[in-house]
Structure 1
Amino acid sequence: MGTPSDVRPDDPTTTPTGGRGRRAVLALMGLALFVIVLNNSALNVAIPTLMRDLDADLPTVQWIVDAYSVVFAGLLLIGGACADRWGRRRVTLSGLAVFAVASGASALADAAWQVVLTRVVLGVAAAFVMPGTLAVLLDEFTGRQRATAIAVWSGIASLGVAFGPVLGGLVVAAAGWSAVFWLNVPPALVVVGAGSLVVRESRDPARAPVEAVGGALSVLMIGGLVFAVIEFGASGRPDAAVVGAAVVAAAAAVGFAARQRHADRPLVPRGLVRDGPFLGASVSTMLLFFGLAGSLFVLTQRLQFRFGLSPVAAGLAVGPVALTVVVASVCSPVLARRTGPRVPVTVGLGVVTAGLAVLATTGVHLPTVLLGLAVIGTGFGLAVPAATDVLVGRVPSDRAGAGAALNDTLQELGFALGVAVVGAVLHRAFVIAAGPGTDPAATLVSGSMDPGRASAAFDTAATAALSVAAAVVGVATLLAARWIPGRDRSTG
């Protein structure tokens, strides 16, 4: 991707980094990424406590979770373009500083709408951090070292998703839901301080203007789509708000596609939408994050509502995902070098599909849930590093920020839609199983329904929701098998 020639020749930060320095850069960018990803996954385990303390219903909680992801996903392309234009280190560390401040504001909120608002600010800040972390690594590493760095980066992202509930459970039990946001502040400040000293600057030498119109259309497209899904799940009917949001999303999608065809410097480099390996890697990654985010949204609630676990116990119960993700992420680049990327991606996706199917069909027993989570973590760790390597490898070298942003956008879009769609299925299925007019949030939190009936209704709803997640990742497996290159095909 980027090289030292991407910056001004007289920039003192262009001095090549030594081996120890590269490891320090990798550690700092990994920690920055971990903070960004942790913000979502740790919040899941705090949902029951947050619902009680802020008197929030399930659709409101979905917006607390998704307000971050919607803005994050919508602005990532702009964030990557800004990093290429104004400097990847500068944009990344500035965004992380704002992220730390917004995290403190979230922790001090005393109403659900305030949390939604501060989560929007967090999403804006994160959109300028995440693509920069990968773009810095693409500039810093080459060859086999780059593949290893991408595997570590992907593993850290996966670890943040999986380990978040563990940390979240511990801090929620100790200090309440607001502690989930305080978690972000110390590591963010460490990266800002150390990164300004260790990370060298890089940028696109063309320094083209940022395509703001396309960025605005991407926010409307993603935001309208997720809003329509969440509101349809809450009401169960296509009312005016749902239809209006869907129309806005469709119109924005058409406008975005047209804009990208004619813009001088499109946010999505031309030709990628017709590139088979890119499509296979991007779509399968998006659908994988859809399945993971949706399933964790269901499972962190199931562990507490259905099995009666405390936030700490629920977080620890998700621990098998974190452990297996780390092990599998280490193995992924080794397997990809020997077999080509198709094998780790398709095998990983197939393993995740199997784990979700186990949870959907036999997840009423705690040991089965733990086993299913371990299986999901293994597949996730195998698939994501290899798919990410293929995706960023199809992007021109001077567009490192754009390539990283594309990868991150698709992951976050999958995350947002996973919570929205799977959460909507969970909500509607619970209402159908428990009886018309039932408020799932009030029923589960207050215990107003007979415990046996409530458990049966939640099991039915969770089975439906997890089945959707499994089916979506199953589709991703087929797409990857068709489009991801094998050992004998070029990955660019």
Structure 2
Amino acid sequence: MTSDGHDDQSGTLAAASARGRWLIVAAVLGSGVAFLDGTVVNVALPAIARDLDTDLRGQQWVLDGYMLTLSALLLVGGVAGDRYGRRAVFIGGLVVFAVASVGCALAPSIEWLVVARLVQGVGAAAVVPGSLALINSEIAPDDRGAAVGLWAGMSGATSALGPFVGGWLVDSVSWRGVFYLSVPLAVGAIWIALRHVPESRDQTEHARLDVLGAGTMILGLAGIIYALIEGPARGWSALSVGAAGVGCAALVVFVIVELRVRDPLLPLSLFRSRQFTGANLTTLLVYAALGGALFLLALQLQQSMGYSALEAGAAMFPSTVIMLFGSPLSGKIAQRTGPRLPMTVGPLVAAVGLGLMARAVPGVGYLGGVLPGVVMFGLGMTITVAPLTSAALALGSGFQVAMIIAAACCAAGGLVALLTIRKGTGFRPQVMPAVNSACQDATTRTR
């Protein structure tokens, strides 16, 4: 062991070595399962709604329940891996995810399905940061940028591939097959991790886990998301308004806790760095646009334009191909130019694609109404990565408005990056190129 508490081989694996390749495969496969499940369900929602007799509100909970626990526990998953073993937490998350996936596939009611999706998010919150931590702790620094670029590209590709795979499963098997798909992939990642991935932890960390911070974050996000889904669907009752109030109050308490606790879950001093704040705001804007656009596009294609589930998934396939083959090149370019240029241009290009998607309305053909937006969106997300509709299920003009809003969010993300991200080229990406550079800058400034 070295003096910093890491295994003496930590950070020395060449990406091209046998052990390095196995580790990258495990990380990509594990995180790919989590990202795939974030989008594969989109095209299955109409079938789920018919089979389990639910409305748009239920469909939103199927998607957002997963994202709720994933986002709320993401920081906890990362800290737990550093302190209790990165491989152990990664494998544990995959086990939880696989079991919850079986629960989703067997769901006899929408309530059962939503609960299982919540549990899936818990597993994903351990897998996603764990996969990156494995790469960052074991792969040699000179190869780390390319390895993370591959991780990001494959993660983006699996997210984009989700609608196509999900559509094929819905049409040929059942919507339940969408959830069974995750099980063998998770088992494969577990097998590789057990056989080929070394255990590592940050043994300099002896502080307690920030349980109070984690609890207030979960309560805050849960309250706000509950209000945003239930309020428009059922009316702004005392319960919905109260949930929004509790959520906002909990997030305020979270900030207070993080300022006072000895070992905060999220050191707020990081936000003194304009670049760190800008990188995170860019990520928020871009992925808010991405999530909303893919959710609504899947419904628009099937329920308003008459596409089958497979056709709706195939409609997005060009963006998958672009991201799959373009992300490695994009990662290399970003490593040479620095993060500012791709994080500015990428969201702006994706915004053009989302704006073009507003043309996807009944009576318009695929080549003229859907494909241009899909291609531009794929190009934009490739560069970037190295109002919800009413309760009625005919989307109408609300879809066009939502696509314009999503485009505006994406464009705003690009402008934020332009104003906050440095131009420097000497960066090594961890989560994404600009975030790592920002973290390094923030750490330096706050010491």
Question: What TM-score results when the alignment is normalised by the length of structure 2?
Answer: 0.90
Distance in 2, Cα, partners of 1:179 & 1:135: 31
- Structure 1 partner of 2:432: none
Match of 2:218, as an amino acid?
Answer: V
Pairing partner for 2:392 from 432, 437, 440: 440
Equivalent in 370, 377, 398 of residue 461 of structure 1: 398
Shift of 1:55: 0.5
What does 1:318-337 align with in structure 2 at a 5 Å threshold? Answer: 318-337=316-335
Is contact 1:4-1:139 (8 Å) kept? no
What is the CA-CA distance between 1:355 and the residue it aligns to? 0.7
Q: CA deviation at 1:143?
A: 3.1
Deviations 1:131-159 (A, max 9, x none): 10011111122434111111111112211
Q: Who is 1:380 aligned against?
A: 381
Structure 1 residue 331 displacement after superposition: 2.3
Paired amino acid for 1:102: A
Gap change, CA 1:14 and 1:150, over 3 Å in 2: closer
Q: Which residue of 2 aligns with 1:410?
A: none
Give the whole-Å Cα distance in 2 for the aligned partners of 1:165 and 1:362.
Answer: 17
Rounded to whole Å, the distance in 2 between the matches of 1:322 and 1:162 is 5
Is the alpha carbon distance of 1:54 and 1:489 closer, same or farther for their aligned partners in structure 2, counting shifts above 3 Å? same
Map Cα deviations across residues 316-354 of structure 1 (whole Å, 9 max, x no partner). 111012111123312222222332211111100100111
Query: Could you say if the C-alpha distance between residues 87 and 5 of structure 1 is closer, same or farther in structure 2, counting changes exceeding 3 Å?
Result: farther
Match of 1:478 in 2: 415
Which secondary structure state, in structure 1, belongs to the residue aligned with residue 198 of structure 2?
A: coil
Give the letter for the 1:380 counterpart: M
Amino acid at match of 1:379: G
1:426 maps to which of 386, 389, 404: 389
Q: 3-state DSSP class of the match of 1:48?
A: helix
How far apart are the structure 1 equivalents of 2:155 and 2:221? 22
Identity of aligned residues (%): 35
1:60 to 19, 43, 58: 58
Give the 3 Å change call, closer, same or farther, for CA 479–15 of structure 1 in structure 2.
closer
Return closer, same or farther for 1:215/1:261 CA change in 2, 3 Å cut-off.
same
Aligned to 2:113: 115
CA offsets 1:340-386 (integer angstroms, 9 cap, x no match): 2111111001001111111125655322212211211111111122x
Change (3 A) 1:189 1:7: farther
Residue in 1 aligned with 2:151?
Answer: 153
The equivalent residue for 2:313 is: 315
Q: Secondary structure at the match of 2:354?
A: helix
User: Is there any run of 5+ residues in structure 2 with no aligned partner, and where?
Assistant: 428-436, 441-447
Task: Sort the Cα spacing of 1:225 and 1:5 in 2 relative to 1 into closer, same or farther, 3 A.
Answer: farther
**Aligned positions of 1:23-422 closer than 5 A:** 23-205=21-203, 206-235=205-234, 237-361=235-359, 365=364, 366-367=366-367, 368-385=369-386, 422=387
Alignment partners' CA distance in 1, 2:5 and 2:107: 41
1:211 is aligned with what amino acid?
D
Question: 1: distance between equivalents of 2:279 and 2:78?
Answer: 19
Q: TM-score by structure 1 length?
A: 0.82
TM-superposed CA distance for 1:488, in Å, is: 6.8
Q: Is the 8 A contact 2:90 2:131 kept in 1?
A: yes
Say if 1:165 and 1:264 are closer, same or farther in 2 by CA, change over 3 A. same
**Residue 37 of structure 2 contacts residue 182 of structure 2 at CA under 8 Å; is this kept in 1?**
yes
State the shift of 1:77 in Å.
1.3
Q: Identify which of structures 1 and 2 has the higher relative contact order when contacts are C-alpha pairs closer than 8 Å and 6+ apart.
A: 1
- Counterpart of 2:322 in structure 1: which amino acid? T
For 1:311 and 1:4, locate their aligned partners in 2 and report how far apart those are by CA, in whole Å.
54
How many residue pairs are counted as aligned between the two chains? 423
State how far apart, in whole Å, the 2-side matches of 1:6 and 1:146 are. Answer: 20
Q: Deviations over 1:27-66 (max 9, x none)?
A: 1110001111111211000011111111010011101111
Distance between the aligned counterparts of 2:3 and 2:408, measured in 1?
45
- Structure 1 contact 214–259 (Cα < 8 Å) conserved: yes
Looking at structure 2, the residues matched to 25 and 119 of structure 1 have their Cα atoms a distance apart, in angstroms, of: 27
Q: Structure 1 stretch 79-88 or stretch 200-209: which is displaced more?
A: 200-209
Q: What SS does the aligned partner of 1:203 have?
A: coil
Unaligned runs of 5+ in 1: 386-421, 428-438, 445-457
Q: 2 CA distance for matches of 1:54 and 1:42?
A: 18
Give the CA deviation at 1:120: 1.1
- In structure 2, the CA distance between the partners of 1:89 and 1:83, relative to structure 1 (3 Å rule), is same
The answer as to whether partners of 2:104 and 2:112 remain within 8 angstroms in 1 is yes
CA 209–362 in structure 1, closer or farther in 2 if over 3 Å, else same: same
1:93-121 CA-to-partner distances (Å, cap 9, x unmatched) read: 01101111111111011111110111111
Q: Give the secondary-structure state (helix, strand or coil) at the position aligned to 2:41.
A: helix
Q: Is the 8 A contact 1:74 1:215 kept in 2?
A: yes
| Cα distance in 1 for residues equivalent to 2:2 and 2:314 | 43
* CA distance 1:196–1:232, change in 2 (3 Å): same
Equivalent residue of 2:396, what SS? helix
* CA RMSD after TM alignment: 2.0
**Residue 271 of structure 1, CA deviation:** 2.1
